[in-house]
Each structure stands twice: as C-alpha cells, then as structure tokens.
Amino acid sequence: MSRIGNRSIEIPKGVTVTITPQAITAKGPKGSLTLDRHKAIDVKEEKGELIFTRRGEGKPDRAAHGLMRALTANLVVGVTKGFERQLEINGVGYRAEVKGTMLVLTLGFSHPVEFKLPEGVTAKVEKNILTLSAMNKQQLGAAAAKIRSFRGPEPYKGKGVKYIEEKILRKAGKAAGKGK
C-alpha cells in the first residue's frame, strides 16, 4: 500500500491540468510544465482533485505509484508558487555575482568559475547567500548540486559552497606540541 500514492492532489484555482495517455501537463500563473506518464499508473481528475491508481501489484508498479503522485504534486506547486534553493558561500574572498544568465563564482581558484544557468532557473545574490529559483524542482536541484560541486564545504574551516540548511561536521585541527 502506497501512503503517498493514495493521497489525492487538490488542483488550486488558476491551474489547469491536462491528462493525455502519454503525459500530464499543468498550466498556471508561472507557466506550463509537462511530465511523462508511467504506463502502470492511471490518473483521473474528479471534483478538482487528481487521483492516482495503479494497474498491477508488482514491485515496480507499487514503486511508481508514489513517485508519479509526488512528481505531479511538484508540477502543480511549480506552476503556482515555484521552488527556491539557497546556497551559502563561505571563505575569504569567495563570492558570486550574476551577469545575465551567467553565474560567476570566485572560489579561491586561479580563475573565476563561470556557470551558465539552465533555462528557467534564475539566481540572485545577497552578501554571501545565493538564491536560485525555478518552476521545475528537478532542474533547480540539479543546478544547485552542480554549483555546490565546484567547491564543496571542507570540514576544518567550513570554506566552500553549502546548502543553507546543511550542517557541516567540523574537525579539530592538528594538535600542536604533542608527541615529542
């Protein structure tokens, strides 16, 4: 029994959901997003809600049940509110700036790192906080992970790029004067 797959999705006002045999499309105030349907999951719209049922009881069908419901919920939230991800840049001289669709990061290398933002992802920088926003949650997460990978946080001083809610386990440095 899928706890997530059995829950219905309420369609907010101003959002239209189109269901075809191949895809689910949501249109809202922020734009339009499309999701390919899984062949083992049936989707119906009843009384302003989307209901998901699976055709079989096999393990792949049960796994896809909750997944399709969660991805469709992300579609509906994306076209109404959108998603946001914040990254914190720590380190002396470490900074970021947005130049059009390019994000220029100074992360202690001999050269600045230039990252072209994917279409649909926007960025803004305030002090050392980089805020990414987009309609598509998967695209936003991939862009944030790529930016973090340029200089991940290190455990001794905490320098690098980290998610704002991420906790870094700090290590003690080398102990001075022991051993001899």
What residue ranges do the domains of the chain occupy? Answer: 9-80, 83-163
What is the DSSP pairing of strand 122-126 with strand 160-163? unpaired
What integer pLDDT is reported at residue 26 of this predicted model?
96
What integer pLDDT is reported at residue 180 of this predicted model?
54
User: Mean pLDDT of successive 10-residue segments in the chain (180 residues)?
Assistant: 85 93 95 94 92 91 92 95 96 94 95 96 95 96 97 93 93 72
Phi, psi of 83 (to 5 degrees): -125, 155
* Domain 9-80 is found in CATH 3.30.70.141: no
| Equal fold, 9-80 vs 83-163 | yes
Q: Please state the pTM of the whole predicted model.
A: 0.87
Picking from 8, 142, 12, the residue whose alpha carbon sits closest to that of residue 76 is 12
What integer pLDDT is reported at residue 70 of this predicted model?
95
What integer pLDDT is reported at residue 5 of this predicted model?
87
Q: Which CATH number applies to 83-163?
A: 3.90.930.12
